[in-house]
A and B are shown apart, each in its own frame.
Chain A
């Protein structure tokens, strides 16, 4: 059943194209039937996952390596699955209205369904590999949705930043998850199961004690923080607001950004509780919590304001996971639901305002309550929940969050830091919410509003945000026992032990209530001065903007790559030789210097050494220096000829008569050719390079010479591989019918080598023929360039 939910959803994506033809709002609500059905199906499984029970389904891929498509449904998955499918159903209906006149709606729905399938796969995944697969798929679909309006540069920029950051974090996550699997295997889990969440959580204590824990967790944190927009990776989320509002409401408030939270909560019972875990999560989460709330109070764009309160709440959830303990698990479950409800409603309302008035700028809005009373009412409901005003669901969430901070098993400084973050966050939420409501709905209607014929949207469109907004009030007022029943399994899954959850509006006069009341009072007081607060200059300099810094980073990377390519691909042969030689020196020289000394053969005086051998050998360096220093061409040819002759002599000395013969013959031919060609060139060499370049090249050449000498000495004594020479010696006469073994090898044993050699010669011959003929064909000097180009092609061929 679980696999079917995910795979059928993914397969149903083409259904989105129905929106290209059909009546749009109807198609939207029609498509909403799919998530609605999933919602009902998942809800019917609630009894099956009560407490710690769960259901699992696995489709093996590579069982020996523990790679399988594995789905598990437990309380936490169920909560996320319900949020995804429930909000999803509303979003589909809403999008049909919101984008009624958009020609690309069909494409949009395809992306949205794909995303929903990926997100369901992510939260239903039973092993880390399956989860990672869907994790990346959500990044990709999010990219497509943010960049949906690809005609706009801002949309492209936002899409690219979000993809680079979330996919980059995804890479870190993959390594982290593989390390976790490896750690589980070392802890004694059979390889076939090492990647399942159960096994990793089960082996938690052993993993925590092992050396892989810290690197694995840091990498997993990177993945979760990038996905859930934690500081300092937060800036992609405001940028992602370029997506059409239905996508923002779905992905960037209720579902995808909570994937990081989901993963951390999933791993918490097994891997949580260490100083690394708690310290990182409380610090990063708490800071993001307060930071996001404070920035939100200064924003004028409604979606940007909502984006910052979203990343703030994500920080709060990360902090809760870090705090640990029973109340934190409960607070996590409650706040996930509360936030998903009010934030998706607010995003959809932002879309309605934008849709009706053509702007989301609070400075250009105002007085909307007269024209849109229905929208204003539901906005108020959602905002009151966000502010944490009593009897709203947000209040329940905030109360239990404060309780979690007070009751956390961590040391006192951590607890108070968390409490401070909660208070700052709560105050910020109140100011931001008041700012939004006042700017959009109160006061006098602005000229922008009066220009448009603004009124409440179609009922079908208003219904989408109305449902979650109303639930934010109805759930705590009448349905708390039911909600507790739904959230208890989720909280148990995070806590690791079954726990009883009984939510209540009134816990009596306690510390949490006092802190909450103080925050509300403080918020109300500050909200009065909301305009003056927003007018204060920003405490941060303009360059300290994450998105801008990130742009600079990517630009610098591209510029660096371009400069690097330009430096290396300079079009000069000697530069290529220089870099190749340098790379060779590093790649071969360094290992040789480290390991070669041990295997070098001892140098002993050779008793057979003859004076003429020494003479021949000594003549070669002399001739080389003469070649290099030669001022005239003929001198250079003579010096090179000496080298060739001495090499031939070596071949004679070491019983290779065939080689000596061939070498001498070739030497004569070479000399003739060199004389022929050099005769048309200037008679004397000019000094072209600078002294510095010559010194550098000489040093490089000397190093290569040293390296080659060392290489020969290090390998000459090696007998790691047996010689195959005896085979040729034994079989030469019998199988090759020849006495001269070298010749038999050339024409018989390795005849194909010789065939290749002849082919090379033939090709060279053709090339030379072409080069020389071209001269006759091409007109004299005035137009030399075409022939030059052709010559280059020949060389390349």
Chain B
């Protein structure tokens, strides 16, 4: 299963980098979106093995179920998802303003 994840991560990074290298600011934003997906999945693979086990929820005795997933990477990714959303929202606002000021979404038009 790691193989499939690895290939997916590779595709996400490749697509993200290609989009970020474009001149359109919209494509740059789409690239950032893909990049955050790629990074989140990358963090996922760093955990204590990738497994189709039980979610990290302990029972009343405080004992985890058998074959439990790594909770730490999940917490990290949760933070990452929210932060990347915040950044995306900001960049979107920036693109919106830039479009108003320049009348184009071409990054080269925005150089002084």
Contact = CB atoms under 8 A, between A and B. Distances in A.
Interface of A: 571-574, 577-578, 581, 601, 603, 606, 608-609, 613-614, 617, 620-621, 624-625, 627-628, 633, 636, 640, 643-644, 647, 650-651, 653-659, 662-663, 666, 669-670, 673-674, 677-678, 680-682, 685-686, 688-689, 697-698, 700-702, 704-710, 712-713, 715-716, 723-725, 728-730, 732-734, 739-742, 745-746, 750, 753-754, 757, 760-761, 763-765, 767-768, 771-772, 774-775, 784-785, 787-788, 791, 794-795
B16 to A, nearest CB: 8
Interface string B18-44: 111111101111100110011011101
B82 A795 contact: no
Contact of A730 (B20, B46, B62): B62
A655 B34 contact: no
Nearest to A785: B101
Given A662-B81, A728-B56, 16 more contacts: A609-B1, A621-B11, A650-B44, A653-B52, A658-B55, A681-B105, A685-B24, A685-B27, A689-B22, A700-B21, A723-B47, A725-B71, A753-B76, A763-B86, A767-B90, A771-B97
Contacts of B1: 606, 608-609, 613
B82 A666 contact: yes
Contacts of B64: 729-730, 741
A647 B90 contact: no
Contacts of A791: 94, 97-98, 101
A669 B112 CA distance: 33
Greatest chain A CB density within 10 A among B30, B53, B95 is at B30
B49 to A, nearest CB: 8
Interface of B: 1-24, 26-30, 33-34, 37-38, 40-42, 44-48, 50-62, 64, 68-72, 74-79, 81-83, 85-90, 92-102, 105-108, 110-112
Contact of B92 (A677, A740, A741): A677
Contact of B58 (A628, A713, A739): A739
B95 A666 contact: no
Contact of B23 (A640, A663, A688): A688
Contacts of A774: 97
B18 A698 contact: yes
Contact of A729 (B30, B37, B58, B105): B58
B86 A577 contact: no
Nearest to A633: B26
Contacts of A581: 17
Contact of B50 (A654, A685, A686, A772): A654
A350 B82 CA distance: 79
A166 B33 CA distance: 55
A700 B79 CA distance: 29
Contacts of A757: 79, 82-83
A670 B87 CA distance: 11
A636 B48 CA distance: 35
Contact of A636 (B30, B58, B108): B30
B71 A728 contact: yes
A745 B73 CA distance: 10
A669 B98 CA distance: 22
A701 B48 CA distance: 29
B59 to A, nearest CB: 7
A728 B72 contact: yes
B50 to A, nearest CB: 6
B23 A733 contact: no
B84 to A, nearest CB: 8
Contact of B111 (A572, A633, A710): A572
Contact of B81 (A659, A728, A784): A659
Contacts of A571: 111-112
B10 A706 contact: yes
A787 B102 CA distance: 11
Contacts of B15: 621, 624-625, 627-628, 701, 705
Contact of B86 (A644, A745, A760, A772): A760
Contact of A643 (B37, B81, B95, B100): B37
Contacts of B62: 730, 732-734
A725 B70 contact: yes
Contacts of B96: 677, 680, 771-772
A760 B85 CA distance: 10
A643 B90 contact: no
A173 to B, nearest CB: 47
A644 B37 contact: yes
